Amino acid sequence: MISDTRRVIPLLATALTVFLLFYVTNNIAAKTTKESSYLGIPGLKKGDHSHWSKFKKPSSGSSKVFGGAANGCITGAETLPESGKGFVSIRRHRNRYYGHPDTVALIKKLGAGLAERTDKLVMIGDLAQPRGGKMSSMHRSHQNGLDADIWLSLASSVRNARWSTMNKKDPPTMVASNKINVNKRWGKHQKYLLKTAAMDPGVDRIFINPAIKRELCKTEKGDRRYLRKLRAWWGHHAHFHVRMKCPKNSPGCKQQPTIPVGEGCKSLAMWFRPKPKPKKKKVKIGRKKPVKKRLPKPMAPGCVALYKKSFKERGSLAKK
């Protein structure tokens, strides 16, 4: 009886080992198949939209916009020059100086107009990546080539612009320490840039600090229609954020809802009310519920095609 048991135990151990090997191998294969099935790109995990920054050049073909500012992309993006009449592009190492031709045209227009008033330069910050898409840092928007950050401080030269913004240093604020008024840096050139951009028919809206809009609401004596496009938003005290309208040749572009009628000056009061004291949260004793990881929103159909095409051109997921 003992000898029979001794013979059976190695057989059972061998059978168990074979079973475990089979189980693990099949699970790894299934997981690999599942991961590689996302958009048909080998090794890409489901919902991974983080590789847009690895596509270093714009795609070929005509300029077309897909999706919205916070979930979009662009084909055939135009490259903003390092500098031009009245403007200079800063922080080029980020490789975010691409946009739709309408966006680039607006920047050149602002620069040329400023050059007629002063010998200083407007500094241009981030536009979009070569093919748009999600950025690895800083912005949720700027994804479809229709956004641009325009700094309100002017540079005395191209060299000065590059030097003064090194090491992630931002140009100075235009808002006073009380966060209600503008400071002494605000002037006619800053107003010109904002007003000219807002009056451009291709511009959909501009995000700017509430204190700056408040100043324009108080002081504008001429045509006030452009004030409607100036949308008060957090931050934006040293730069303004332009967003263009969807181009006519881009049916896949997602236009934001229309701005409400009116100048938007009366509603500014809400931005300057004292903040209520935060309520103390009751500490709940017990086991915390696991937080479910949310997958990003599905990409626009045109962006899926561009993402896949870009990976095919790049050749490998592992390449930097």
Q: For 89-101, what is each residue's pLDDT tens digit?
A: 999 999 999 999 9
- Residues 75-84: contacts with CB within 8 Å, 24+ apart? 75/131, 75/302, 75/306, 77/128, 77/130, 77/131, 77/132, 77/145, 78/103, 78/104, 79/104, 80/104, 80/107, 80/124, 80/127, 82/158, 83/121, 83/158, 84/108, 84/111
Reported as a single tens digit per residue, the pLDDT across 117-131 is 999 999 999 999 999
Higher confidence at residue 183 or residue 315?
183
pLDDT of residue 32: 46
Q: What is the pLDDT of residue 34?
A: 46
Nearest to 77, CA basis, from 56, 67, 95, 62: 62
Instruction: For the chain, state the CA radius of gyration.
Output: 27
Q: Looking at mean pLDDT, say which of 3-7, 39-43, 46-50, 292-296 comes out highest.
A: 46-50
Least trusted range by pLDDT, from 146-150, 219-223, 230-234, 282-286: 282-286
- How do residues 232-250 score in pLDDT, each as one tens digit? 999 999 999 999 999 999 9
> What is the average per-residue pLDDT within 203-218?
97
What does the block give as tokens for 181?
Answer: 């008024």
Selected residue with higher pLDDT from 46 and 99: 99
Higher pLDDT, residue 122 or 39? 122
- Residue 50 confidence (pLDDT): 82
Range with the poorest average pLDDT among 92-101, 112-121, 289-298? 289-298
Tell me, what's the pLDDT at 26?
A: 58
Least confident of 137-141, 180-184, 315-319: 315-319
52-272: CATH number: 3.30.1380.10
